[in-house]
Amino acid sequence: MQGTIKSAFPTAPMIVVALVALLGGAQGVGTPASAAQRPAAAEKSPPGDIPDSQVFITYASPLGFALKVPEGWARTERQDGARFADKYNAIDIAVATRPTVPTAASVAEHEAVELARLGRAVNVQAIRNVTLQAGPAILIVYTSNSEPNPVTNKPLRVESRRYLIQRHGKLVTLDFSAPLGADNADQWKLMSNSFQWR
């Protein structure tokens, strides 16, 4: 099985059964090689804490949104968004067209399944409704393996928070990730709450 999905909303039993059936039957031809990975062991002293002294600056995207990001992180612009990275820490932002507002149930049936199918040893731990300063969103909490280290060829276990934010037919996927055990909860909260449509 490629990944594990645990759900955190009232309709969990039926959806979890459906997800297990989907994921269990997804192996075979066309399955990404990364799906067969085992979860990497968590580091005893994980790197990746964003320091309390970190300065944040506002990134304004031509795609119609803005949010605060750590100053000094490497930025990669894409047609659908941007990525900010510092060692194993990363922020990924992507914009897509989506006319319907996602719900916890629809995310469990679609986005979470795709995440487990395409990711590296993904374990989805929770899917829940949250409220950001910009409005309602869906949060996916999950762990996965990083890309293998180019020197050791070993992956690192990473924890992530993925926010799905929709408005006027646009869906923003906002992903924060860091080595498992790093303490970035306050910084991730600051950045996710700084998100705003422009």
Tokens linked to 61:
């995207």
pLDDT of residue 88: 84
pLDDT of residue 17: 33
Question: Chunked in runs of 10, what are the mean pLDDT values of the chain (198 residues)?
Answer: 47 38 35 58 63 95 96 97 94 96 96 94 96 97 92 92 96 96 94 97
Asked if 95 contacts 63 with a C-beta cutoff of 8 angstroms, the reply is yes
pLDDT of residue 36: 64
**Domain 4-26+54-197 homologous superfamily, CATH:** Mog1/PsbP, alpha/beta/alpha sandwich (3.40.1000.10)
Burial class (CB in 10 A: 0-12, 13-18, 19+), 161: buried
What is the pairing mode between strands 4-5 and 135-145?
A: unpaired
What is the pairing mode between strands 123-132 and 4-5?
A: parallel
pTM greater than the 0.85 cutoff: no
Q: Bin 72: left if φ > 0, else alpha if -120 < ψ < 50, else beta.
A: left
Terminal Cα distance for the chain, rounded: 41
All structural domains of the chain with their residue ranges: 4-26+54-197
pLDDT of residue 22: 37
Asked if 139 contacts 107 with a C-beta cutoff of 8 angstroms, the reply is no
Tokens linked to 97:
């067209």
Place of tokens 């909260």: 189
pLDDT of residue 47: 62
Q: How far is CA 136 from each of CA 105, 116, 130, 185, rounded to the nearest angstrom? A: 15, 24, 6, 19
pLDDT of residue 123: 96
